């Protein structure tokens, strides 16, 4: 009886880990099969998150169209994907795109459509951040942030939409931010642009339902850069995620990319990737706004007091 009691806990943990591994492996395979042979467009593919999304969808057998501002970085990403890819996967197409150059986006959209004649999945990933007090940020920078985070994505989406509507199929994914749900001090321009994007794509979701076009938003907290996780689909990855993935406040680009793939596979309408504290902040902002504003204001007061003391 004593030996059984000693062995019971390790065996239980081993069994739970095995179930988690099998579940995640099956879910991962199903997600990857959902994008096989699909034409997937990823904006800002040369960013950290863009690279991970490119890798995830490429291994899933998607026909990628990768967009970015720098041709050399696009070529480097192309080489990286080709070197580790299965020979049966499609070679990615590369398109130069500066999402802040609104006047050129429609012409670039034509180039994108010319690659395969259609777009099945559009992933709006491009984004620009700025931090500072409202009075210290120029109006020109405010406009630049809005171009990158709002006008750019919606201009590209509007240019691609007619193709999806004519085919009555397609998926549009907006990789946004938790700051599209709550405003954080000293990030007014960024939060404003993210709120605007959420509003647009929420409306678009309802309008596109009659055409069987799904619209999803993925809202992570800030994307951090702690050490690279083990590759998905193996035992080490399952154990790592189960025990350690929520230790850091932010989320890793690998986690977000995997969630984007699962979102596309399941056609989720909205995903919030956040730890309990920022997740609670979203609900407090919704149901107890005065409490939320008081907490935020006290945080600023404490910050200013600390700076004065230093």
Helix or strand (DSSP H, E) at 218: strand 213-220
Q: What is the pLDDT along the chain (310 residues), one digit of tens a residue?
A: 566 656 666 666 667 666 654 545 445 444 556 799 999 999 999 999 999 999 999 999 999 999 999 999 999 999 999 987 676 789 999 999 999 999 999 999 999 999 999 999 999 998 898 888 899 999 999 999 999 999 999 999 999 999 999 999 999 999 999 999 998 889 999 999 999 999 999 999 999 999 999 999 999 987 775 444 444 444 444 443 443 344 345 788 999 999 999 999 999 999 999 888 888 889 999 999 999 888 888 766 555 444 444 4
Nearest to 51 by CA among 92, 88, 89, 86: 92
User: Catalytic annotation on 116?
Assistant: no
Q: Residues 89-102, buried b or exposed e (16+ Cβ, 10 A)?
A: bbebbbbebbbbee
Task: Give CA separation, 244 vs 81, 104, 248, in Å.
Answer: 28, 43, 8
Per the confidence metrics, is the pTM higher than 0.85? no
**CB-based contacts of 155: which residues, under 8 Å, 6+ apart?**
102, 105, 106
The predicted pLDDT at position 28 comes to 46
Domains of the chain, start order:
36-236+251-274 (3.40.50.720)
How far is Cα 10 from Cα 188, in angstroms, rounded to an integer?
50
Catalytic annotation, pick one of 21, 78, 150, 190: 190
Structure tokens at 115: 């690659």
Q: Judge whether 272 and 219 are in contact, CB under 8 Å.
A: yes
Per DSSP, the three-state class of 147 is: helix
The predicted pLDDT at position 249 comes to 57
The predicted pLDDT at position 2 comes to 60
**CB-based contacts of 174: which residues, under 8 Å, 6+ apart?**
124, 153, 197, 198, 201, 215, 216, 217, 218
Instruction: Identify the residue whose tokens are 């920078």.
Output: 141
How far is Cα 164 from Cα 171, in angstroms, rounded to an integer?
8
Count of Cβ atoms closer than 10 Å to residue 72 Cβ? 9
Task: Give CA separation, 60 vs 31, 85, 256, in Å.
Answer: 8, 10, 16
Nearest to 61 by CA among 124, 126, 120: 120
């Amino acid at each position: 009886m004593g030996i059984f009691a000693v062995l019971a806990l390790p065996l239980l943990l081993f069994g739970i880990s095995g179930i988690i591994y099998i579940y995640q492996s099956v879910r991962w395979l199903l997600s990857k099969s959902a994008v096989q042979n699909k034409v997937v467009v990823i904006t800002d593919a040369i960013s950290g998150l863009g690279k991970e999304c490119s890798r995830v969808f490429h291994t899933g057998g998607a026909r990628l169209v990768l967009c970015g501002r720098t041709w050399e970085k696009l070529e480097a990403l192309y080489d990286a994907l080709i070197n580790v890819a299965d020979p049966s996967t499609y070679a990615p197409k590369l398109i130069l795109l500066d999402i802040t150059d609104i006047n050129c986006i429609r012409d670039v959209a034509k180039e994108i459509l010319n690659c395969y004649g259609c777009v099945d999945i559009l992933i709006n990933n491009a984004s620009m951040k700025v931090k500072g007090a409202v009075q210290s940020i120029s109006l020109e920078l405010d406009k630049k942030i809005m171009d990158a985070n709002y006008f750019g994505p919606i201009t590209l989406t509007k240019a691609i939409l007619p193709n999806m509507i004519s085919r009555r199929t397609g998926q549009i994914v907006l990789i946004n931010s938790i700051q599209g749900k709550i405003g954080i001090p000293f990030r007014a321009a960024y939060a404003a642009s993210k709120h605007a994007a959420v509003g647009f794509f929420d409306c678009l979701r309802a309008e596109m339902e009659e055409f069987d076009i799904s619209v999803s938003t993925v809202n992570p907290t800030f994307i951090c850069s702690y050490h690279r996780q083990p590759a998905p689909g193996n035992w080490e990855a399952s154990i790592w995620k189960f025990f350690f993935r929520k230790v850091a406040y932010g989320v890793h680009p690998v986690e977000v990319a995997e969630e984007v793939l699962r979102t596309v596979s399941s056609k989720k309408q909205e995903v919030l990737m956040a730890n309990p504290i920022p997740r609670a902040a979203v609900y407090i902002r919704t149901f107890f706004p005065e409490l939320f504003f008081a907490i935020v204001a006290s945080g600023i007061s404490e910050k200013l007091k600390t700076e004065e003391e230093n």
